[in-house]
Copies of this chain bind each other. A is one copy, B any other.
Amino acid sequence: MNCPVRRYNVCEPLGPDRQRELYEHQQTWKRGQYLYREGYPVGPILKIITGIVSVSKTLPDGRRQILDFFFAGELCGYLETEGRYTFEGQAITDVTTCAFTRSRFKAFTAAHDDLTEIVRATLAWKLEGISRHAVVLGQLSAKERVATFLCWFGARSGERGGTPSVRLPMARGDIADYLGLTIETVSRTLSKLRMLGIIEVSDTTITVLDAARLASLASPLDEH
């Protein structure tokens, strides 16, 4: 459940002195704004201070697949292809970031062995995460997808407390695009789970009444 890599979320373990050495000016982003877009020449790597960023791909006809949510402490805008962003980063909530010059980041990690290992471990961890997500997208039914999402997100928030109530900071549309469903299907599925007495829905807050049953619906995937 608690991936070991989480411990060294790139930068956290640096300590304030080494962090200062790397950080550039701080920035704020309004919910919905793009931090960077696919195909644009790469800018700095962004470290999220507060808020949530989605990494996604938008097709020419408007369809969008959210690949991952990035939380405070994580880096985004890392992946590039020939000097251009591979995907797009969008503020799901209001977000504040600070920037790393890409070249400086590269030089800095090259100079510190522990950092190169942290980068490697983080990439491997992300690779595992997106792979699990691909299984969700390719194989699970709507109910299973939503249940999996709630379990995953509940586990995330549950880290600090034992409360079974989950705040969903993102809009239904974001959940839908993450799960490869439509807004309506997500909404309907939440209603079904509510009518089954498994959860309680209150706009942005979901209260898990029957964690065991929820987990069994998401069962196909052990844990995240």
Chain A contacts to B: CB under 8 angstroms: 3-4, 57, 59-61, 63-65, 67, 78-79, 81-82, 86-87, 110, 113, 116, 119-120, 123-124, 126-128, 130-135, 137-139, 179-180, 219-221
A4–B113 Cα distance when bound, in Å, is 24
Q: Return A65 CB to nearest CB of chain B, in Å.
A: 4
B128 touches A81 (CB 8 A): yes
Closest to A59 in B: B220
Q: Which residues from B are CB-within-8-Å of A4?
A: 82
In the complex, the count of this chain's copies comes to 2
A63–B63 Cα distance when bound, in Å, is 26
- Kindly name the residue among A110, A127, A132 whose own CB sees the greatest number of chain B CB atoms within 10 A: A127
Q: Which residues from B are CB-within-8-Å of A60?
A: 219-220
A134: which of B64, B78, B134, B219 is its contact (CB, 8 Å)? B134
Q: Which residues from B are CB-within-8-Å of A81?
A: 3, 128
A134 touches B220 (CB 8 A): no
Say whether, besides A119-B120, A120-B120, A123-B127, A134 and B79 are in contact (CB < 8 Å).
no
A116 touches B127 (CB 8 A): no
Q: Return A124 CB to nearest CB of chain B, in Å.
A: 6
A86: which of B82, B128, B139, B179 is its contact (CB, 8 Å)? B128
Q: Which residues from B are CB-within-8-Å of A137?
A: 134, 137-138, 180
Q: Return A68 CB to nearest CB of chain B, in Å.
A: 8
A131 touches B128 (CB 8 A): no
A134 touches B63 (CB 8 A): no
Say whether, besides A138-B180, A180-B139, A131 and B87 are in contact (CB < 8 Å).
yes
A61–B180 Cα distance when bound, in Å, is 22
B135 touches A57 (CB 8 A): yes
Q: Can you list 24 residue pairs at the A/B interface with Cβ under 8 Å?
A: A57-B132, A59-B139, A65-B135, A65-B139, A67-B131, A67-B134, A67-B135, A79-B127, A86-B131, A116-B120, A120-B123, A123-B123, A123-B127, A127-B130, A130-B130, A130-B131, A130-B134, A133-B134, A134-B134, A134-B137, A137-B138, A137-B180, A138-B179, A138-B180
**8 shortest interchain CB distances as A-B pairs:** A138-B180, A137-B137, A123-B123, A59-B220, A137-B138, A65-B135, A65-B138, A63-B139
